[in-house]
């Protein structure tokens, strides 16, 4: 457990940052209200996302969707935890990427279980085109997943020894 303590601390800190930012936004910004941070580029806009990451499936909504997404999140979390445990301690980059994914998944799961929706508030846009709303947890999941892909693409293939007859 000691060899994973830095990763567990990272997960805890990221969940804390995610939950604190969501709490601050929920307390200070009305639902669908917006605070301009960088005009023409970035707002803090509070929405309640009943769908998945970046609002995917949010139009489906309802209690059934919450149950489906919560169940899917728990299954995904179990798989990531399993992979985290099976990953060698020396593979610190992969462990860090998995830590980001775990922190994000847990952060959004806390919202989904406690509220039935996820608080999203980061609103990047250019002109009238807006990127889907997201939060710190979504950022952790996305960055962690991109890092995992990058690490596996750049990983040197292991030399296989072929026996000669």
Catalytic residue, chosen from 18, 111, 123, 138, is: 138
8 Å CB contact between 124 and 42: yes
Catalytic residue, chosen from 18, 111, 120, 123, is: 120
Confidence (pLDDT) at 134: 96
pLDDT digits (tens, 9 = 90+) for 70-83: 888 899 999 999 99
pLDDT digits (tens, 9 = 90+) for 94-134: 999 999 999 999 999 999 999 989 999 999 999 999 999 99
Quote the pTM value.
Answer: 0.84
Confidence (pLDDT) at 84: 93
pLDDT digits (tens, 9 = 90+) for 58-72: 555 566 677 777 888
Catalytic residue at 91?
Answer: no
Confidence (pLDDT) at 80: 94
Tell me the longest C-alpha to C-alpha distance in the chain. Answer: 74
Catalytic residue at 138?
Answer: yes
Measuring CA to CA, which residue among 95, 93, 90, 103 is closest to residue 141?
A: 103
Q: Is 87 exposed, middle or buried (0-12, 13-18, 19+ CB in 10 A)?
A: middle
């Amino acid at each position: 457990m000691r060899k994973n303590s830095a990763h567990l601390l990272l997960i805890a800190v990221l969940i804390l940052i995610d939950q604190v930012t969501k709490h601050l936004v929920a307390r200070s910004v009305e639902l669908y209200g917006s605070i301009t941070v960088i005009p023409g580029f970035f707002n803090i806009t509070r929405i309640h996302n009943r769908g998945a990451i970046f609002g995917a499936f949010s139009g489906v909504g309802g209690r059934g969707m919450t149950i489906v997404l919560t169940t899917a999140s728990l299954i995904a979390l179990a798989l990531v935890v399993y992979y985290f445990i099976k990953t060698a301690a020396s593979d610190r980059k992969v462990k860090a990427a998995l830590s980001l994914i775990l922190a994000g998944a847990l952060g959004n799961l806390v919202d989904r279980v406690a509220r039935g929706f996820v608080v999203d508030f980061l609103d990047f846009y250019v002109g009238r085109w807006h990127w889907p709303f997201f939060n710190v947890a979504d950022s952790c999941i996305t960055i962690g997943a991109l890092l995992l892909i990058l690490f596996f693409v750049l990983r040197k293939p292991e030399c296989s020894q072929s026996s000669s007859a």
